[in-house]
Amino acid sequence: MRFAAIVTLLLSLSSPAEAVGATRYSKVGMSFAGTICVDAATGTVLSQEKADFPGHPASVTKLMTTLLILEDIKANKLSMRSRVAVTKAAADIGGSQVWLAPGESFTVEEMLYALLLKSANDVAVALAIDRDGSVPAFVARMNRRAAELGMTRTTFVTPSGLTYGKGPHDTTTARDLAKLAVTLSQFPEVFRFTSTKQYLLRRPGKPLELLNHNHLLGSFPGCDGLKTGWTNAANASIVTSVKSGNLRVIAVVLGCQSPGGAKAEQRLRDDVAAGLMSQGLLKLKQLEAEKALQLARLPKVSPSPKGAVKPKKEEGFWEWLGDLFSF
């Protein structure tokens, strides 16, 4: 009965949003490069489909840019209050941006909000140039770090994920993005940015309200990140995170494509990610319940009472002989 009670207690904490993710667009004709869901604490795979197939991450690329910035902060190479100057190359990048102007400067903290909420390409370039002197040098560091993390099927060509036409494009897999996200989740401060729904970027005379592109923050309880991405070349991708109690799972949907167009791809991507998080949380809690059962079944060892006298070892011949000739 005690074992059943443990299982019942743990499984009563099951996924908080099993009903979330109802399809709002037809899945007919939908395809994706790959999906995966993992335990954020250990990287244990909870579900996967075509997880090693290549795809283009679009703005999900910015998670590697974020990781390098947070690692530089941890290494005391800069701080959240350090100011980053805007260059013309950053201001001219195009795509999703916060319209930085050459000569402006912002703190690293402000830039991370713009990078992760608004998916600002101009901010990604500004950070890259500030950290390594040029975009190619920063991209080389992105690829070195990817290799260190075991992201063997990943090649970055930008700090932002913005590419056009036939490329070259940033290329990765769902499994590689999960490895990146697991590493990034070891920096708790990242969730302060990725869970924020809106942020006011203060600029002289023209403050700008930034709205998070991740719509699962408002619809999936416990969701607190991480990054969405979409371009014509890459279709729709997302890396999401959800926390329930002391458990956290990370879900990846790479390259979701639909004949319904961009909006349909993004909605379907979100639906698939929500389903992965729900199923992942449930499976992780089942695994935790099984561990609890195994621990409960272990025989209990009663500790020796304080002051207990250990039984005297029986004296053998050599001990008797030694006592005989001792003085």
Active site residues: 59, 62, 119
Rounded CA gap, 120 and 100, in Å? 9
Query: Inter-axis angle of helices 2-11 and 262-297, to 10 degrees?
Result: 160
Residues 6 or more apart whose CB falls under 8 angstroms from that of 91 comprise 99, 100, 101, 102, 122
Q: Where are the beta strands (DSSP E) in the chain?
A: 34-39, 45-49, 83-85, 105-107, 198-201, 208-211, 223-231, 235-244, 247-256
Per DSSP, what are the bridge partners of residue 155?
171
Rounded CA gap, 174 and 50, in Å? 8
Report helix, strand or coil for 313.
coil
Expressed in angstroms, the distance from the first to the final Cα of the chain is: 63
Report helix, strand or coil for 151.
coil
Rounded CA gap, 29 and 183, in Å? 34
CB 230 within 8 A of CB 214: no
Closest CA to 70 of 223, 185, 241, 154: 185
CB 172 within 8 A of CB 138: no
| Tokens read off for 92 | 């001219």
Residue 237 sits at φ, ψ, to 5 deg, of -135, 160
Closest CA to 120 of 90, 146, 163, 141: 90
| Tokens read off for 320 | 């008797």
The residue with tokens 């954020």 is 40
